[in-house]
Amino acid sequence: MSIGIWQIVLILVLVLILFGAGKLPKVMGDMGKGVRNLKAGLKGEDETTASPKLNDPNTVDGEVAKKPAKTSKKS
């Protein structure tokens, strides 16, 4: 037996009623993070080898920013 469109609609309506429209984006974001953590765990990655966070000030567009080499000027 497969899930039809009406069952999906019913599930979505129930989720909306349970969590409300205000909390729904946070709940979905938390679910997305959980799925990403699960996939990373299945691959054998941990937090130190996972991709850098976008909010990290040491990253640029998700990539680690390269720091310029220190040069010393002699006068």
Position 30 scores a pLDDT of 92
**Is the pLDDT score of 52 beyond 80?**
no
This prediction has a pTM of: 0.40
Q: What is the mean pLDDT of the chain?
A: 76
Which one is predicted more confidently, 34 or 75? 34
How does residue 56 score in pLDDT terms, banded at 50, 70 and 90? low
Which tokens go with 2? 């497969």
Gap between the Cα atoms of 55 and 36, Å rounded = 17
